[in-house]
Structure 1
């Protein structure tokens, strides 16, 4: 059908650079469509997308264009090919067709004019949309296959590499940038020395070191970088998948990820990575007020009866601060009976335990034996296993309740998703503790002794509460305090990492 029979004056030019297109392709498309406008005397407004996805949701310029078309701002929209408007799912295609049909706006290509209120044009548009979607799926599949082959060869194909890596075009690999690597290693050393992710972020901002995106550092960015397996020399793919029916992107369980090892230069060791996972897991369950390290023992003193973190009361009128009695109440409102005490009792017990640890390590080195107390880690492992079994029982009971008609399908689906999410997290925590046990088995007594000596040096020369708190956290998992009566001697147990 000739475009001359239509009354066209004001048009929109829509340009989209698809995956794999060159910038020059976009310029050619622009020149061709602008030439059409000039030839026909049409005034035009340009809408251009660069590097966008196939769905309308991922294309802001397309969303803007559809809003303007709905307002009947144009007589027609010019595109090089019909599929430039979209290769999305049927819902996207229906949205485009409905918007153009209701507003009575034409779609003009160099080959044809589409009037979506004309039945034959509508059928042709549907057919071309179907072909475009199939073509897009084929291209996407070939790209995924090519990316998988390149990744197996150790090439970096996941966009911009994470800090401190940069992409080397010659080798097609991720390589560490020397200046950024120095900063990253400083972050690792701080974390292994007991610094929290918040402390690290604050210090980097004070040093005016920009974040990977050129702004300020946040604790979340610090944790994500320090826990990223890419820094072990790995490339991880298959973290997410797209649900075809809804278009939703979901994160797959870690057990389903594909990891290619030894692809590029690592910037941390497996032992460092395992300890970082363990330290940040501990930080995750530490109360926010305790993470600030306002006291030398903030966040590491636990109740020996209920396991909750105990609070420290600063006393300016006395030589020592007070450890407050446990305030936790159970589901029946019954308060924990653990009584607090004088912080000097904890300070002396911890110092004695660290000195004893130093002597034990020195003796073990002299005798050539391995020394490592992993009891606390095995206790944690047992508790986590019990938690996993508890969630599995809840899932089983939930299934029975659904089978008996005690809960609706909607409630079952929501609860099931909640329990499965908790189960995946517990299983991941379990693997982290297992790795930390492996780490302690691999750790050399000489390395452990050096760390203990560093802590003793800090205790002898440092007065700042935050610095002392970091030192304690670098070697101590927790301190267990238990006391029944105020006139009784407390039981203090120090559990080392």
Structure 2
């Protein structure tokens, strides 16, 4: 029977590679081959484990090795150290020990050969597995303590830098920090501006960035989830999080299942890196995200402008919208608490009374729409101009490459066949860049025209109620109300009499966000 060679890279091996000591698995393979040749052991297969995992379940090559060992396929297994086989918990160590013991498979290392039939070798093997686990836990605790200390000291400890930054090693100290990438930082700023000033949602921002042919962090098209992650990452205002998605283990149907739920209350500290956006703007975005519904498709789009605002004055439950049907000519707002005696009312009637109350309360309060439009236009225009500049540079570079190809043909360096192939490639690139440049310029002109049109339609300052009635988008109406109202309490004790369904015989108690002096 032949022998199996099992190779696994440890954390110490990775540190050694970083010091320039060569590729670990290649060195170990060479040493074990020399050992096998010296002992005249035929090698039937070589399994290399490149996955870093604490348990056997995370190491597919180890699982295959144990399966073949239990089936008695190998006379022995060659490894650099016993510790390479298992560093998991007691259950994993027992699995490894039993597999080699009951199949009578030897374990051969450069220092010792373990024969499971020998009781002293068996005890020594099990002791080595135990010490290996203890060493692993000690090393892991030391590493985690170091990471936590570095995190709380402001060093950036995550593996990769978020979009808009690059990870750099601090010259004078051991830690890493982040450095802003100006071109990407402009995109991040644009995303925050569009979200906070232009009432854009994640899907609309996604579409706008894709229309402008701006590459995403992955280099592909933007997705709404990527935009949402950028809007929710405190790194952009100078903070970093610790253990936001901590691993939680559960036993389900006899198996250990791992999950990584989000923890909103995870630790957050100030980082040693510059912020791209102000902390106040980041907090505003989180408030908007918490209060603003984000429909995924038209079927689930928001239909209640008072969503998240109206509460039952009796039991404190948030009122919900009930759609109209054969019995209800209009959609109504009702208390979902079945034990509550608060009576429902038509949604349109409650909305009208809310507007009437707001008009009475702050008739002079006005919204400056030109400022919001200029914020959106400025943010988009900045990104557009950068994109146009970059595409124009690529276009000019392609033209120079095309001219150089003609020169190389005239000098005899390019053959006609090579020249034609090169010219076709460059001409195609040139045409694609030209179309993209024209598209971006058309988008720039469209935004400028739309800005002028809006200024012609709206005066520089218009009353809140008038603007609200002009808006048809329920989502924006809801957002406008949430900007001036914290919540409203609703109470109705008597049902409308027949023929008086349009009578507003209910009371509304307002809890505004703005001081009354406004």
The answer, yes or no, to whether TM exceeds 0.5 is yes
Match of 1:260, SS state, is: strand
Residue equivalent to 1:42: 42
CA distance in 1, matches of 2:355, 2:306: 16
Equivalence for 2:348:
341
Q: Cα gap change, 1:309/1:138 in structure 2, threshold over 3 Å: closer, same or farther?
A: same
CA deviation after TM superposition for structure 1 residue 124, in Å: 0.8
Gaps of 5+ in 2: 250-255, 369-459
Answering whether residue 503 of structure 2 is matched by residue 488 of structure 1, we say yes
2:279 maps to which residue?
Answer: 270
Q: C-alpha distance in 1, partners of 2:89/2:150?
A: 29
Give the whole-Å Cα distance in 2 for the aligned partners of 1:275 and 1:351. 23
Shift of 1:28: 0.8
Partner of 1:310: 321
Distance 1:145 1:312 in 2: 55
Q: How many angstroms apart in 2 are the aligned matches of 1:213 and 1:114?
A: 49
Any idea what SS the aligned residue of 1:356 has? coil
* 1:325 equivalent in alignment to 2:324: no
What value does the CA root-mean-square deviation take over the aligned residues? 4.6
Whether 2:65 is the aligned partner of 1:65: answer yes
Q: Distance in 2 between matches of 1:455 and 1:51?
A: 63
Output the TM-score relative to the length of structure 2.
Answer: 0.60
**Structure-1 residue corresponding to 2:363:** 356
**Which secondary structure does the structure 2 equivalent of 1:168 belong to?**
strand
Cα deviation code 1:321-374 (max 9, x no counterpart): x8612355433597843334359837964984797363599xxxxxxxxxxxxx
Q: Identify the match of residue 226 of structure 1 among 227, 231, 255.
A: 231
Cα distance between partner residues in 1 of 2:297 and 2:310: 15
2-structure distance, mates of 1:343, 1:242 = 46
Q: Residue deviations 1:125-150, cap 9 Å, x none?
A: 12212222232233223323443454
Deviations 1:139-168 (A, max 9, x none): 223323443454455332221133333212
- After superposition, residues 85-484 of structure 1 pair within 5 angstroms as 85-169=85-169, 172-193=176-197, 194-197=199-202, 199-200=204-205, 212-213=217-218, 221-237=226-242, 240=246, 258-283=267-292, 293=301, 297=305, 299=307, 302=310, 306-310=317-321, 324-332=331-339, 336-341=343-348, 345=352, 349=356, 352=359, 356=363, 358-359=365-366, 459=467, 465=473, 468-469=476-477, 472=480, 475-476=483-484, 480=488
TM-superposed deviation, 1:467:
7.4
Q: Is the 8 A contact 1:205 1:216 kept in 2?
A: yes
Q: How many corresponding residue pairs?
A: 390
Contact 1:293 1:469 in 2 (8 A): no
- Does the CA contact (< 8 Å) of 1:302 and 1:310 recur in 2? no
1:7-62 C-alpha deviation (Å, 9 max, x unpaired):
x4142433224353426222211222234445636233332233513222332332
